[in-house]
Structure formats: structure tokens, C-alpha cells
Structure 1
Amino acid sequence: MSLKPLLILFISSGNAARSLIAETLLNAKGSGAYRARSAGTAPLDAIDPDTKTLLADAGYDVHKLHPKKWQDFHAAAHLVPVDMIVTLSPEARDLIPLDWVGDPVRAHWVVDDPLGCDRVEIREWKLRKCFSTLDARINTLVRCRPAASQSEWLLRLKEIGMVV
């Protein structure tokens, strides 16, 4: 018996870098066990150009990536249940309501905002570090998908420190 793919929602502040990177990586590596979406607490108008270039250069399809509001996912949660919410910024952690339909698993992954710097060389370094940090966490998340149940999956996530 195969389980339905788990829907993971990554939320950051602008949904222009961190959460879009996480969405892209999990959709590529999830092997059908996961589906990822992303949103922002104050979404920017477009994906960050450097983030778009980084993902495209790494071989990922970036054509459909764009910032979205978390409220759209919250409003549709009764139609499309979210299994896990991962906040990637303190603003997202503090603003996302607890009254989410389906009571999804929650996690907060501390990932520095690569867009929070004006110096080009530091910003590029922070963007690469963000990518590698999220890549490692996504790899860990993908490896811990159980074959049995969502409660077993949650237990494994807690054991490896992936949820709070």
C-alpha cells in the first residue's frame, strides 16, 4: 500500500528566495512521497533574480516559481490539507496562526535571509549557504519518510530534531 504524498508548505517572509529554494528542492527530491509549496508573510512581486539564476544553473525548472501569500493556503486548507508547515524566518514563525485546518506538523528551520545584505559578494555567499543548508535538511526530510503512518513519520521527525 502506498501512502499519499505529504504536502509540505515552506513559509518565509518574502517568498523570493528561501522558501522557493526549499519548494524546488523538495519537489525534485521527494520521489512522489512529498509535494512542496511555498508562500510568504509579505511576498515580494517576483522571485529574486540571483535565486532564479542559482536554481536554473543547478538544473532546476524555475519558470513557474513566483511569490505567493500564506493566506491563500490557509483559506484553502479544507480543500487541500497541508501535512507540515516549515517556517524559515522568525516573522513567519511568529505570524502563522495555530488554527490551521488539519493541525499540520510544524517546524521552524533557522535559515539566514540571503537577501538581507547589500554587498554583492556577501549576498552571493549567503545565497549559496542558504541553498546548501536547505539541501541538507531536505535530504534528511526525504530519508525519514516512513512506509507505515503519519504518526510514525512525526516520531522520526522529532527524533532527528526536524520539528519543534
Structure 2
Amino acid sequence: MADLDFNVLFLCTGNSARSILAESLLNQLGQGRFRAFSAGSHPGGRVNPFALELLEKNHFPTGNLRSKSWDEFAQSDAPQLDFVITVCDNAAGEVCPVWPGQPMTAHWGIPDPAAVEGSDDAKRRAFVDAMNQLQRRISTFVSLPFHTLDGLKLQQAVREIGKTA
């Protein structure tokens, strides 16, 4: 695993918007050093069309995105996870499966753009806001000095990212 250093799972309840955005963003911004996945505790079964539209418009990968259960990542043949990051408050409060590899965990709560009511323009603005916040956090995450931080300091740094806007 020369160029690929870390597997990261982003969790949300429905796995249709925020975790999907985070998966695509990290797979692009991580420049091959990270492999991102997303899942939900109660997946809706489809990716929100506003999430796909926004990612495509900004030239982020969408080809492999799908709404899936977090149970896929608790199986013995699942990728060994280094980080599990919740991006919605509901998922953060749920009892998660036991993840193979004992990954570091963090919570980066983002308001749910899929919950916004109103015009399509209002919904699109909510998705842009969520994506911008995730992009700032993921940019900070990928720039951490992973190989120089001990486990405790790395865990603290990843959790601190969730406290920034």
C-alpha cells in the first residue's frame, strides 16, 4: 500500500447526501493517499439527485457512488478502516457496529441539505453549503502530518476538525 495510506468511512443515517459528498470529495482531494467509503445506518437506497448534480458540476467522481448499509463495512471481508467519521448528528448517537481494525472515530456534524424544504434553488444552496463545509474539513484532514503524529494526537486532531465551520 505504497501510495494508499488510509481507508476512511463516512457515516450518516440515510447515506444519500452528506456522507456521499464526503466520500467523493476525499477520494479526489486525498490524491490516492486515502480511499473513502460512505454508508448509512438506515440507507435510503438512492443517492440524492442534488448531491450527484453538485458533484458532477464540480468535476468530482460519481461513478461508484451508491447508498449502502454500514453493515457492509462490519463484515470480515470489508476493507480495514483507519477512520470512521460521522457527518450527521443522528448517526453519531447510534450504536455503531464493531469495525474491523479498531479505527479512529470522529464526529463532523453537518446540517442535512436533504432536509431543506422549499424551491430547488434553496435545496441547491443547502447542498453547496454542506459541500463547502465538508471540503474545508477534508482539506484540513488530508493536510494533517499523519506520519509524524502519535495515535493520541492524531485522534485529537481529527476530532478537532469537526469543531470547525
User: In structure 1, what is the Cα distance between the partners aligned to 2:151 and 2:123?
Assistant: 35
Other-structure match for 1:126: 126
Amino acid at match of 1:66: R
Query: CA separation in 2, counterparts of 1:96 and 1:162?
Result: 22
Relative to structure 1, is the Cα distance of residues 163 and 57 closer, same or farther in structure 2, using a 3 angstrom cutoff? closer
The residue aligned with 2:110 is 111
Check whether the contact 1:105–1:163 (CA below 8 A) recurs between aligned residues. no
Aligned-residue offset at 1:85? 0.4
> Where in structure 1 do 4 or more consecutive aligned residues deviate above 3 Å?
1-4
Partners of 1:146 and 1:15 in 2: CA distance: 27
Structure-2-length-normalised TM-score: 0.86
Q: CA deviation at 1:108?
A: 0.4
Farther-moved stretch of structure 1 (29-38 vs 107-116): 29-38
Which residue of structure 1 aligns with residue 32 of structure 2? 32
Question: Where does residue 63 of structure 2 map in the other structure?
Answer: 63
- Distance in structure 2 (CA, Å) of the matches to 1:86 and 1:141: 11
SS of the residue 1:10 aligns to = strand
Structure 2 gap ranges (5+): none
Which letter maps to 1:41? S
Amino acid at match of 2:118: R
Look up the SS of the partner of 2:7 in the other structure: strand
Q: Deviations over 1:94-140 (max 9, x none)?
A: 22426333221000001000000221233222111000000000000
- Using the alignment, how far apart are the partners of 1:134 and 1:28 within structure 2? 13
Specify the SS of the correspondent of 1:11.
strand
Which deviates further from its counterpart, 43-52 or 116-125?
A: 116-125
How far did 1:46 drift? 1.3
For 1:43-63, what per-residue CA distance to the aligned partner results, in whole angstroms no more than 9, with x for missing partners?
112111111110000012212
With 105-114 and 61-70 compared, the bigger mean Cα shift is at: 61-70
Distance apart, 1:153 and its partner CA: 5.9
Q: 2 CA distance for matches of 1:3 and 1:65?
A: 22
Equivalent residue, structure 2, for 1:93: 92
Identity value in percent: 28
**Structure 1 spans left out of the alignment, 5+ residues:** none
Map of 2:150 onto structure 1: 152
Instruction: Give me the TM-score of the superposition, normalised by structure 1.
Output: 0.87
One-letter code of the match for 1:54? Answer: L
Q: CA deviation at 1:90?
A: 1.8
Structure 2 distance, partners of 1:3, 1:145, is: 15
Amino acid at match of 1:86: I
Structure 2 counterpart of 1:81 = 80
Mapped partners of 1:64, 1:79: distance in 2: 16
- CA–CA distance in structure 1, aligned partners of residues 13 and 2 of structure 2: 34
Contact 1:16/1:44, CA 8 A, preserved across alignment: yes
Contact 2:18–2:87 (Cα < 8 Å) also in 1: yes
Q: Supply the RMSD in Å over aligned alpha carbons.
A: 2.3
How many residues get paired? 161
